[in-house]
Amino acid sequence: MIRGHDESMLELAALRAIGALEHDEAELIDRHLADCDECQAEYARSRAAGAALAFSTTTPPPPELRDRVLSRAVRITRVRPWYQQTAWRFAAAAAVVVVAVGSWFATHEQQPEQRWAAHCTAPVAADCGDLVASGGVLRLDARGLETPPAGKVYQAWVIHPKQEPIPEPTFSVDSSGAGSVEIAAAPTKGDIVAVTIEPTGGSKQPTSKPLLVATIE
Amino acid sequence: MLARPVPCTWKPAWKLAWDLAPIRGAQGPDFCEREWAAHMQDDVLMRRVRAGDHDAFAALYDRHAALVYGIARRMLSDSSQAEDVAQSVFLQIWVRPELYHGGNLAAWLARVARNACIDILRSSTVRLREPELPLEVEDDASVDEEVFAGLRAEAVTAALENLPPEQRSAIEQAYFAGLSYREVAERSGAPLGTVKSRIRIGLKRLWETLREKVPS
């Protein structure tokens, strides 16, 4: 334990607690904190005071946010007990938000990449891309698709065995027929990811037959 | 005294995806699991969330969404981005509840939401990110408990307003705008040492005031 140092270390401990230091000083105080009870106490008090500030901003969110969050949670299937869960992230929010939130959680284990073939239904079983689970995100990388007619888009679906398709985001393809879409579901053996053509804005239930199918094996 | 919970009537998962009535309103018996969940302590709810209990997750959202959304909205000044942050935070909890190691859940959620917002705010700046907070300190939640038990929003607002304006301003810029003390000094024109001192003393006063207001 270190005692009797000057006030500057206590100041750094307080500033560190609310993230107000730059990199070098943060590293300096982190090393010091490990051995100094006085600074640890300063850090803990300042962190609690800082976190309490969040309470002054309490604002009820729009009711539709509740619907979105809970419906997304319902759609997520946990395939393993929680203590074996790996990092699954979501494409639900804007990419920068997902990166920001995910980075905080990303100090733990990483999910190894998994890949399954995606096939077009016409011609039958033609190679039309890959379904990839990587970095906590399930993503369909489609290729060989035609540009959809005006007013139409491609839409992905997740189909659990013997259940109705779950709507996923719509997406477009480039001039080469390639397009990607992120899917907010954990990959579960036996699930199918399909793609249909839907009106712009997407549908709640498919209105056409699948053009592309990938089975998680 | 709460009645013993009885199971709710559930719709198939695929129906829930676009028909949220079972989550919102009463289904089945008068007092089902979801009403019961609304009365549980956070640690009990988190245990149930780990077990995949949707009612517990909904209760957790109802209890803490205003905190998570509120801080994101204050920091980002953008309601749409704030919704995205809140959604991501809660869905991460649903998928990875094991990342919560105990202690005050509200304090933990506040930190997670703020860290996410800071990453967004800093994504457009050249400032080097700080490393992750040291784990051995991060896991010590005893001081959080001291302040957060019984904490009310009005008490925090009042404590903040009672600080000298220069201390309050320095703390708010650092905490809500995600600025380093150097950046706060640049913006305010105050010397670096003065800004450091204002933030430290302000936080200390804030903590002491809140501690006095919390019933022991």
Every domain of chain A and the residues it spans? 7-56, 63-217
Q: What percent of chain A has pLDDT over 70?
A: 76
Winning range, highest mean pLDDT, from A82-96, B97-111, B133-147: B97-111
Q: Which residues of A touch B99 (CB under 8 A)?
A: 105, 108
- As a whole number of angstroms, the distance between CA B216 and CA B207 comes to 15
Q: pLDDT category, B9, cuts 50, 70, 90?
A: very low
Q: Do A98 and B88 touch (CB under 8 A)?
A: yes
User: Does domain A63-217 match CATH 1.20.120?
Assistant: no
Q: What are the pLDDT digits (tens) for A146-174? A: 888 888 889 898 877 766 777 888 888 88
In chain A, residues 120-159 whose CB comes closer than 8 Å to chain B: none
Q: Which residues of B touch A91 (CB under 8 A)?
A: none
pLDDT over 50 at B27, yes or no: no
Residue A1 in contact with partner chain B when CB distance is under 8 A? no
Residue A68 in contact with partner chain B when CB distance is under 8 A? yes
Q: How confident is the model at residue A144, as a pLDDT?
A: 86
Nearest CA in chain A to B12: A163
- The conformation of residue A108, written as its DSSP 8-state character, comes to S
Higher-scoring residue by pLDDT: A79, B55: B55
- B150-216 sits in which CATH class? mainly alpha
Higher-scoring residue by pLDDT: B59, B214: B59
pLDDT averaged over every residue in chain B: 73
Buried b (16+ CB within 10 A) or exposed e, B104-128: bbbbbbbbbbbbbbbbbbbeeeeee
Q: Do A74 and B17 touch (CB under 8 A)?
A: yes
Helices (H) and strands (E) in chain B, counts: 13, 0
CB atoms within 10 A of CB B172: 18
pLDDT over 80 at A13, yes or no: yes
Q: Do B130 and A22 touch (CB under 8 A)?
A: yes
pTM for this entry = 0.56
pLDDT over 60 at B70, yes or no: yes
CATH number, domain B29-144, options 1.20.1050.10, 1.10.1740.10, 3.40.50.300, 3.40.190.10: 1.10.1740.10
Domain ranges for chain B, please list them.
Answer: 29-144, 150-216
Q: pLDDT category, B118, cuts 50, 70, 90?
A: confident
pLDDT averaged over every residue in chain A: 78
DSSP codes, A31-93: HHHTT-HHHHHHHHHHHHHHHHHGGGG--PPPHHHHHHHHHHHHHPPP-S-GGG------SSS
